[in-house]
Amino acid sequence: MRSDMYSLNGKKVLITGGTGSFGNQVVDTLLTQPDVKEIIIFSRDEKKQFDMRNRLSNPKLKFVIGDVRDRETVFKVMKNVDYVFHAAALKQVPTCEFFPLEAVKTNVLGTSNVLDAAEENSVSKVVVLSTDKAVYPINVMGMTKALLEKIMLAKARLCQSGTVFCGVRYGNVMFSRGSVLPLFLEQIQRNQELTVTDPTMTRFLLPLPEAIDLVLYALAEGKNGNILVRKSPASTIQHLAEAMIEIFNHKKGIRVIGIREGEKKHETLVSVEELMRAEDFEKYYRIKNLEQVNYDRFFTDGAYKDFPTEGYTSENTRRLSYEEIKDLILSIKEIRSISG
């Protein structure tokens, strides 16, 4: 996939949750395009905005303090915007488990506010960011992300303004905030054991630049109601921890703590049911959904004969070798800067 297949000439881009890992990386990428008119960073953390403003010091950036839960503010910030990346979310599984209504307010109602505002202001395209945890969800974070996808699909079918609504779905983004690699690094720096839930647990591994590439590809090629899924290799948590131990020559080893509430042993990026209507490309799947409200097709008519034997999961995807895991970890600049 290529991230140069779209034009930002004279365009205004809005990024909700724009000070997170995704926001920082995608802004760096967008600023390489000289013709982009303006990039609006919409988030609620003034300290992160302050740090980002100082790091980039670019007149094309506009920082707006606000929360996607605040419908009035979202409608105001959306005026004259061409493209929207909707990344604002509560993403920590334990936090969402303890405070499920807060997750609903941000991930579900906040998403509804963003999509309604985009339709009202005739935004050209909205790309919403989802996760493998939205497939067969067992925790609140996954459930609310699944609803985010359904809200986007409903909006795609009903929208009258011409706005294109689509989404992307990917697995663990390496070294994103709250992921396991920063935890392992912190434990190494504190000279502690690395805590592993289940050594055989598998997770998709996706470097952040590849996640950005998928989102920019969706901006260029995503059709109304599409969900684009980046194919990714996987690793066991055990091998990921062992690779970190070797890279840093860590002596404390690993401690198995057991599977925590709300965790799966393996994650799914595309369900069995979705594979029936998905297009399979070299590096991604395009999940196509009903493009309009068609009650006959939904309630009484079918289009598919057989279920695939299995979905696309972290158990059956390509398993990274130990050397590949180390190479992937060392491709992260934060790791390289510390490991030497």
pLDDT in tens, 218-249: 999 999 999 999 999 999 999 999 999 999 99
Phi, psi of 21, rounded to the nearest 5 degrees:
-60, -45
The pTM (predicted TM-score) of the whole model is: 0.92
Return the pLDDT at 125: 97
Catalytic-labelled residue, pool 91, 133, 145, 264: 133
pLDDT reading at 179 higher than 90: no
pLDDT in tens, 272-311: 999 998 999 989 999 998 666 666 666 666 666 677 889 9
Provide the pLDDT confidence category of residue 313 given band limits of 50, 70 and 90. Answer: very high
**Domain residue limits, the chain:** 12-170+206-231+269-306
Burial class (CB in 10 A: 0-12, 13-18, 19+), 215: buried
Return the pLDDT at 296: 64
Q: Hunting for tokens 């990386």 — which residue is that?
A: 25
* DSSP structural state of residue 196: E
Phi, psi of 252, rounded to the nearest 5 degrees:
-85, -20
Return the pLDDT at 304: 63
Calculate the CA 158 to chain-centre distance: 24
Region of residue 151 (left: phi > 0; alpha: psi -120 to 50; beta: else): alpha
12-170+206-231+269-306, superfamily in CATH? NAD(P)-binding Rossmann-like Domain (3.40.50.720)
Return the pLDDT at 298: 61
pLDDT reading at 1 higher than 70: no
**Residue 133 designated active-site:** yes
pLDDT in tens, 10-38: 999 999 999 999 999 999 999 998 899 99
pLDDT (mean) for 50-78 = 97
